[in-house]
């Protein structure tokens, strides 16, 4: 399959032209009218500066730092790959990898289908769709720290905790939601799903509006029920969005930090220690100056793995998304 270049012909043509031709004032030059001229550059410059200073520079700095020993106050010392060796030798790395994979898997099983189901159901609703959309999106509006503090009350392990009270009505519990090693991670996933699902629901709802209604009408004429319409029309029509949200879900959940940090600080006994929390610990647990080199090294390793995974994923699914 060949990819389709959708850019204007002039832009594509510039790419093929020898670099020496790209002079200011000439067609194809940086300040050419075809590229918007000086105003474009002036408007673009602040964004480039901000993006460069606050995104690319720190990323570049982190890459350099992963080969240094530094406390960010005294002069750094280059230590080769020692930081990477140190990270690999840390037994907590594998604990963090397992915990992160567990969180990502749970979030995938529960967090990925729920927004889709919710969006499909809401799209079927004729009345008060706006209200349902607002209710679904409301958790996204709540500041994450506030949400976690709220859920801490829900998860109170005492008999008078919100969830324990509710479960007590049917003779269950009480459960030590955040204290028991077996249920603490599902508890975190539950809150994370609640907090994030609304955004994905809105994306799916927007995508559903792009599905040609005549397809559903045709299906109804052919006697197709709701399930067949969803399976044969909705899901194929949303395929492109589903593939993107899938990879975003994986990338997002592998980088989970807020919930384990605020709910449990990685406890109990490192059962919710995730990769990002381990990076944080490398950098900040020692009040005398963190091990920023190890933190940068693990960050870099995570970025490389996620990048490789993303590239592989899009290569494998390219035929699905374009079919």
Four-CA torsion 24, 30, 36, 39, nearest 10 degrees: -80
- Looking at 1, 141, 221, 288, which residue binds another protein (CB under 8 A)? 288
Cα separation, 178 vs 176, whole angstroms = 6
Report strand pairing: 77-78 vs 68-69. Answer: antiparallel
Please give the C-alpha separations between residue 117 and each of 201, 206, 251, 273, in angstroms, as whole numbers: 9, 14, 21, 31
Structure tokens at 263: 């709910």
- Looking at 11, 38, 134, 218, which residue binds another protein (CB under 8 A)? 38
C-alpha 85, offset from chain centre: 28
3-state secondary structure of 69: strand
Shortest distance, CB of residue 114 to another protein, whole angstroms? 28
**Residue 158 binding another protein, by CB under 8 A:** yes
**Residue 74 binding another protein, by CB under 8 A:** yes
Asked if residue 268 has a cis previous peptide bond (ω within 30° of 0), the answer is: yes
Indicate the residue among 178 and 205 with the shorter CB distance to another protein: 178
- Looking at 284, 307, 308, 321, which residue binds another protein (CB under 8 A)? 284
Would you call 99 exposed, middle or buried from its count of C-beta atoms within 10 A (0-12, 13-18, 19+)? buried
Indicate the residue among 85 and 322 with the shorter CB distance to another protein: 85
**Of 14-22, 107-115, 165-173, 287-295, which segment contacts another protein by CB under 8 A?**
287-295
Indicate the residue among 136 and 294 with the shorter CB distance to another protein: 294
Length of the chain: 323
**Of 11-19, 120-128, 132-140, 170-178, which segment contacts another protein by CB under 8 A?**
170-178
**Residue 73 binding another protein, by CB under 8 A:** yes
- Looking at 134, 265, 318, 321, which residue binds another protein (CB under 8 A)? 265
Would you call 103 exposed, middle or buried from its count of C-beta atoms within 10 A (0-12, 13-18, 19+)? buried
**Of 1-9, 54-62, 153-161, 188-196, which segment contacts another protein by CB under 8 A?**
153-161
Indicate the residue among 249 and 272 with the shorter CB distance to another protein: 272
**Residue 285 binding another protein, by CB under 8 A:** yes
- Looking at 39, 80, 171, 223, which residue binds another protein (CB under 8 A)? 39
Contacts of 32 (CB under 8 A, 6+ apart): 25, 26
**Residue 143 binding another protein, by CB under 8 A:** no
Using CB under 8 A as the binding rule, the residues of this chain from 42 to 61 that contact another protein are: 42-43, 45-46, 49
Residue 278 · residue 92 · CB < 8 Å: yes
Using CB under 8 A as the binding rule, the residues of this chain from 177 to 196 that contact another protein are: 178-181
Structure tokens at 279: 């990076």
What residue ranges bind another protein (CB under 8 A)? 37-39, 42-43, 45-46, 49, 71-74, 156-158, 174, 176, 178-181, 264-265, 267-270, 280-281, 283-290, 292
């Amino acid at each position: 399959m060949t990819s389709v270049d959708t850019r204007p012909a002039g832009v594509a043509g510039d790419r093929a032209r020898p670099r020496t031709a790209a002079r200011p004032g000439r067609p194809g030059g940086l300040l050419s009218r075809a590229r918007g001229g000086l105003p474009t550059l002036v408007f673009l410059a602040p964004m480039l500066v901000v993006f460069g200073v606050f995104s690319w520079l720190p990323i570049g700095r982190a890459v350099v730092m992963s080969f240094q020993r530094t406390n960010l106050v005294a002069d750094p010392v280059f230590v080769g790959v020692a930081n990477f060796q140190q990270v690999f030798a840390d037994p907590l790395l594998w604990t963090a990898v397992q915990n992160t994979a567990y969180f990502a898997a749970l979030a995938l099983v529960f967090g990925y289908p729920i927004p889709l189901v919710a969006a499909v159901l809401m799209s079927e609703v004729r009345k008060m769709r706006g209200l349902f959309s607002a209710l679904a999106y409301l958790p996204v509006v709540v500041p994450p720290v506030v949400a976690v503090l709220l859920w801490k009350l829900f998860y109170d392990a005492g008999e008078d905790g919100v969830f324990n009270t509710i479960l007590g009505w049917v003779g269950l519990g009480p459960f030590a939601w955040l204290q028991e090693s077996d249920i603490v991670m599902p508890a975190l996933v539950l809150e994370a799903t609640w907090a994030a699902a609304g955004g994905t629901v809105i994306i799916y709802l927007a995508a559903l509006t792009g599905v040609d209604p005549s397809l559903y009408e045709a299906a109804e004429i052919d006697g197709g029920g709701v399930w067949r319409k969803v399976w044969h029309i909705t899901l194929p029509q949303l395929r492109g969005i589903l593939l993107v949200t899938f990879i975003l879900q994986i990338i997002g959940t592998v980088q989970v930090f807020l919930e384990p940090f605020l709910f449990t600080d990685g406890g109990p006994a490192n059962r919710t220690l995730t990769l990002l929390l381990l990076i944080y610990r490398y950098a900040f647990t020692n009040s005398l100056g963190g091990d920023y080199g190890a933190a940068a090294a693990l960050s870099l390793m995570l970025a490389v793995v996620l990048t490789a995974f993303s590239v592989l994923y899009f290569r494998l699914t390219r035929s699905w998304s374009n079919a």
